[in-house]
Amino acid sequence: MILHSIVDGLAIGVFQELANITVLAISVIIHKIPVACTLGTTFLSNGGTWEQMNTKVVFILFILASPVGMIIGMIAAEMEGGLVLMIIQALSGGIFIYLACCDLIIH
């Protein structure tokens, strides 16, 4: 979940046009709602409680992962321009397709 959130942030961070950033950011925000519910349900079904330190750490990392990914994406996009942008977009697109296919195949 943490890596997934970082890649979400990377995908947002590499864009420079406000329209693209807005569309992708809204999509990621909408997407994070069911992911957060899934993360919470997973913890509850495994006997986790909010009082446990590992639960707090995982949720804090989950919350901070997308903004950290955005910062990394913005820095990477400024460094080398086109090549870094293509690599990050290919990585994020490939991960999104992989996760979508795995979720569909499993269910």
Tens digits of per-residue pLDDT, 17-71? 889 889 988 988 888 888 888 888 888 888 877 788 888 898 899 999 999 999 9
Exposure letters 38-76 (e unless 16+ CB within 10 A, then b) = ebeeebeeeeeeeeeeebeebbeebeebbebbbebbbeb
Residue type, 79: M
**Whole-number Å distance between alpha carbons of 39 and 10:** 21
**pLDDT tier for residue 106 given thresholds of 50, 70 and 90:** low
Residue written as tokens 């970082």? 6
Q: What global pTM score does this model have?
A: 0.76
